[in-house]
Amino acid sequence: MPYFDAASAAPLHPVARQALLASLDEGWADPARLHREGRRARLLLDAAREAAAEAVGCRPDELVFTPSGTHAVHSGVSGALAGRRRVGGRLVVSAVEHSSVLHAGQAHAAAGGTVTEVPVGRTGAVDPEAFAAELRGPDGGPDGGTDSGAGSGAAGSGVALACLQSANHEVGTEQPVAEVAEACRAAGVPLLVDAAQSLGWGPVPEGWSLLAASAHKWGGPAGVGLLAVRKGVRFAPQGPSDERESGRAPGFENLPAIVAAAASLRAVRAEAAAEGARLRALVDRIRARVPELVPDVEVVGDPVRRLPHLVTFSCLYVDGETLLSELDREGFSVSSGSSCTSSTLTPSHVLRAMGVLSEGNVRVSLPAGTTEADVDRFLAVLPGVVSGVRDRLGAGAPVPGGGEDLVVDALGKRCPLPVIELAKVIGTVRVGGTVTVLADDEAARLDIPAWCEMRAQEYVGATPSPRGGHAYVVRRLS
């Protein structure tokens, strides 16, 4: 039963399991205590910190263990922002950061700070020049960045912190961390790198000031994140004080899990080069074969500068939740950025920022050990699953014709139905004529333009509809 959702959580690595078991017996006591059980726990904690620091590429006293990657990001962002409050209240992030970074930014904006989101291109990568421009302050930046929050005009309008992920968690695209780090250095702005998706594959390029990661993404246990803060970076931990982990991670240390996290990071790193090359070839095969096997598919993300194990594609006229559930029935566990698979009914902010199709979205992230046979079976099953879903949704070939402009009322219909209705009728209007789709589903804003690009039709634009939602106008070109 192949599990293809390693980017959500990887199964426990055998080394993690072994280390966890061993330290359940040796590492349950309080490492702050002076008795032998406490001293033994302290030794384990110190050794785990040294191993993790070596893998991260920092000094042991620069690294603390947190209860999760999310905590590492939240504490890292709030501590770095507070440490540079006098410089300013601006936070610059890429538009495709993990939700933990964006949520930390929202909290900053709610407290009066400003957050600037640097846009990404269609592959999901930021442009280092555009990122650098935002570091020069509110007046030096191009129009691309989107500001939110109330503090932009207040005293201290400088940039306090920049955040950039090492690689994107939804589409696998690697970010230009080295170039952005250099720009941050030149601007005197600390850079926090969220390395959650990449740390198991190798160290982050030099130049970061803070680094966050999460053990369960590399096959370590849940309950452990890493936060590294370079010496010399101004850092003021927020929230109630606590004497543990240099005052940067409150609460009793989750020692057995910490030991397992450090041991498994070493282990996956030792296997990373070989396993990465193997999975990279399997992902290349998925990237090449899926568009051949399934019509109307968009494979997204950078084909080369990417994580070795992750690929994402979107299928027109397919509802993501049904697709996931049909793949699950066939034994394949994948995830999706489609709006119908999230609690918010909005498509993934990553797909939105990239401006790519969001309907029928599938993320495949291969855990270590995935076999060629697993991937082949996936490729064999996928076309039938997609066409089955399309059939049930009535996504047939467009009816040919040459009639008048049309208005399609898809109000109240959820993704992918508005796009299916559009595709059905486009052939019934004359070339040069328009179809106006009334839709109030959030995904339509992304998927109708994406459909036009994929089908070589013209997306004219959208205006608010008097009955709610928007009127999306599409001109038939062929």
Full 3-state SS string of 345-377? CCCCHHHHHHCCCCCCEEEEECCCCCCHHHHHH
- Residue among 74 and 455 whose Cβ is closer to its own copies: 74
- Residue among 79 and 469 whose Cβ is closer to its own copies: 79
By CB under 8 A, is residue 478 in contact with its own copies? Answer: no
Instruction: Tell which residue, 127, 72, 142, 50, has the closest CA to residue 96.
Output: 127
With CB under 8 A as the rule, give the number of residues binding its own copies. 63
CB of 154 to its own copies, least distance (A): 19
SS3 content of the chain, % helix, strand, coil (to 5): 40, 20, 40
402 by Cβ neighbours in 10 Å (0-12 / 13-18 / 19+) ranks as: exposed
- Residue among 248 and 424 whose Cβ is closer to its own copies: 248
Residue type, 431: V
Stretch in the footprint of its own copies (CB under 8 A) among 19-27, 389-397, 400-408, 446-454: 19-27
* Residue from 22, 37, 409, 460 in contact with its own copies (CB under 8 A): 37
- Residue among 18 and 428 whose Cβ is closer to its own copies: 18
Cβ-count burial 289-310 (b if 16+ within 10 Å, e if not): bbeeebebbbbbbbeeebbbbb
**Most distant CA pair in the chain: distance in Å?**
87
Question: First CA to last CA across the chain, in angstroms?
Answer: 44
CB of 211 to its own copies, least distance (A): 17
CB of 317 to its own copies, least distance (A): 20
- Sign of the CA dihedral running 345, 165, 210, 15: positive
**Catalytic annotation present for 184:** no
By CB under 8 A, is residue 29 in contact with its own copies? Answer: yes
Q: What is the DSSP letter of 216?
A: G
By CB under 8 A, is residue 252 in contact with its own copies? Answer: yes
CB of 213 to its own copies, least distance (A): 12
Q: Helix H segments across 188-332?
A: 255-293, 320-329
* Residue from 292, 328, 391, 404 in contact with its own copies (CB under 8 A): 328
DSSP 141-171: S-TT-EEEES-TTSS-BSEEEEEEESB-TTT
Stretch in the footprint of its own copies (CB under 8 A) among 162-170, 249-257, 262-270, 285-293: 249-257
- Residue among 195 and 439 whose Cβ is closer to its own copies: 195
* Residue from 250, 303, 427, 433 in contact with its own copies (CB under 8 A): 250
Instruction: Tell which residue, 176, 188, 166, 189, has the closest CA to residue 91.
Output: 189
Q: Name the strand (E) or helix (H) holding 50.
A: helix 36-56
**Cα 342 to Cα 473: distance, rounded to the nearest angstrom:** 27
Within 45-104, the residues that bind its own copies by CB under 8 A are 67-71, 74, 78, 99-100, 103-104
- Residue among 176 and 219 whose Cβ is closer to its own copies: 219
Site pattern 255..294 for its own copies (x: CB under 8 A): xxx-------------------------------------
Q: Which of 184, 340, 415, 452 is catalytic?
A: 340
By DSSP bridging, strand 146-149 and strand 114-118 are antiparallel
* Residue from 254, 264, 348, 436 in contact with its own copies (CB under 8 A): 254
CB of 113 to its own copies, least distance (A): 12
**How far is Cα of residue 87 from the mean position of the Cα atoms in its chain?**
29
Within 379-408, the residues that bind its own copies by CB under 8 A are none
**Do the beta carbons of residue 440 and residue 468 sit within 8 Å?**
yes
CB of 152 to its own copies, least distance (A): 20
Within 340-379, the residues that bind its own copies by CB under 8 A are 341, 343
* Residue from 61, 129, 206, 325 in contact with its own copies (CB under 8 A): 325
Residues 6+ apart with CB under 8 A from 447: 347, 357, 358, 359, 415, 416, 418, 419
CB of 225 to its own copies, least distance (A): 8
Instruction: Tell which residue, 419, 11, 21, has the closest CA to residue 257.
Output: 21
Using alpha carbons only, what angle is made at residue 138 by residues 134 and 139, rounded to the nearest 5 degrees?
Answer: 105
Q: Which residues bind its own copies (CB under 8 A)?
A: 1, 3, 5, 8-12, 17, 20-21, 24-25, 28-30, 33-38, 67-71, 74, 78, 99-100, 103-104, 106-107, 214, 216, 221-223, 225, 239-243, 250-257, 321, 324-325, 328, 333-335, 341, 343
Catalytic site positions: 340
